[in-house]
Amino acid sequence: MKLNSEQKRALVGPCFPLHFLVHPESRAVTRQQMEGFSDSAVFHRWMDLVWTLKEPEVIALLTPVEKEYLAEFNAVSESLCWLPIKSHPHISEVADEDLSKLVPSATRLLESLESRTRPPALHSWWRKAMSFCRLTGRD
């Protein structure tokens, strides 16, 4: 299914929290913006702000495989003990080691969404740039 620009935007939103989760080396800027919050709280906030994968019309844009990835991701997320932060009750967190349980399904979902929403040349360039950054320890 070829996506139009509005459909691509609907699928790009979830890439932000997924990228934050899957690529811990890229978290520095977000940590500065939400200083004092745990990674799981930052991730939860990203999910609250840009997670479109709860909307039926957006879920309808997913491939059957992506729907499986999303179901797996949701099942793991719902199994975690998310607790609201007292100072910010609209943001929840879990122990950071629990957050790592989401990484396998998040990785599969992110890679699939990115491959469908990025132009092919940019996607290839992006993957090479991210690999270089991981190898050199740069954010």
Q: What is the pLDDT of residue 31?
A: 79
Q: What is the mean pLDDT of residues 110-117?
A: 93
β-strands 83-85, 88-93 pairing: antiparallel
110/82 Cα distance (integer angstroms): 22
pLDDT of 110 > 90? The answer is: yes
Whether pLDDT at 126 is above 80 = no
Higher pLDDT, 131 or 30: 30
Among 33, 49, 10, 22, smallest CA distance to 104 is for 22
pLDDT tens for each residue of 25-70: 888 887 788 888 999 999 999 999 999 999 999 999 999 999 999 9
Token reading at 127:
């993957």
Give yes or no for a contact between 50 and 98, defined as CB atoms under 8 angstroms apart. Answer: no
Residue 130 has pLDDT above 70, yes or no: no
**Is the C-alpha dihedral spanning 56, 60, 62, 67 positive or negative?**
positive
pLDDT of residue 135: 65
Alpha helices in the chain (DSSP H): 5-12, 15-22, 28-33, 39-50, 56-59, 64-79, 96-99, 103-117, 120-136
Residue 136, token pair as written in the block? 């050199």
**Average per-residue pLDDT for the chain:** 88
Is pTM beyond 0.75? Reply is yes
